[in-house]
Structure 1
């Protein structure tokens, strides 16, 4: 069983914490092995660096309210805490080996852009523009 973290969990959808500029990564991951937690952190860090014009927050296992499925690693994204979640990756039926459970984050970038553009077209850099700059 994973150790419980001390401190109050934040409800990003409540009026005190809500921001339409904060997108949410919802990751369901098993706690059977620490690598699943590491990969969830890596996912958030990758997108924070890749799309710096957006603020991202990671919510794991519905803030501890969801018992993760065995071998689960699923990545969902929402425009903000009050919008629907969009499935980007499911590793449920993948592996062994365990490395197949995790996505290559680069392959998810276009899907994240697609989800964010639905509501924030003016705040998301177009992938074509980004490739021209490189």
Structure 2
């Protein structure tokens, strides 16, 4: 004759499980009763004119009317600008022909620009007056199409 499949341990675990479920239901009901609630109105937050959060709605008399046609979406059109001469003039400050690079100082703004031998059209040396154009490189602007004047 076979015995019951339910052991004492199984019965105890089942009792604990039911007890936990009942406690959980009681806590949920208690939270529901004690909640301040009040609906959506108590959950709304407004932002005042200084960017701070507040629970009072803004004053309708202080509302600013915005015309939809005044809102610009996208990039504004550029006004006609004077075309800037892309050719700069300067003086070779340093050039190492064995390594193939150097620096040029611009005459106008005294900025120092990197130049690589691949960006030159003819051989240059320190102290030469040159004309050049600028292109964006990995570490900033580089002098390219460098020619002696």
Q: TM-score range by the shorter chain?
A: under 0.3
- Higher relative contact order (CA closer than 8 Å, sequence separation 6+): 1
With normalisation by structure 1, the TM-score equals 0.18
The higher radius of gyration belongs to 2
With normalisation by structure 2, the TM-score equals 0.17
Select the structure that is richer in helix.
1
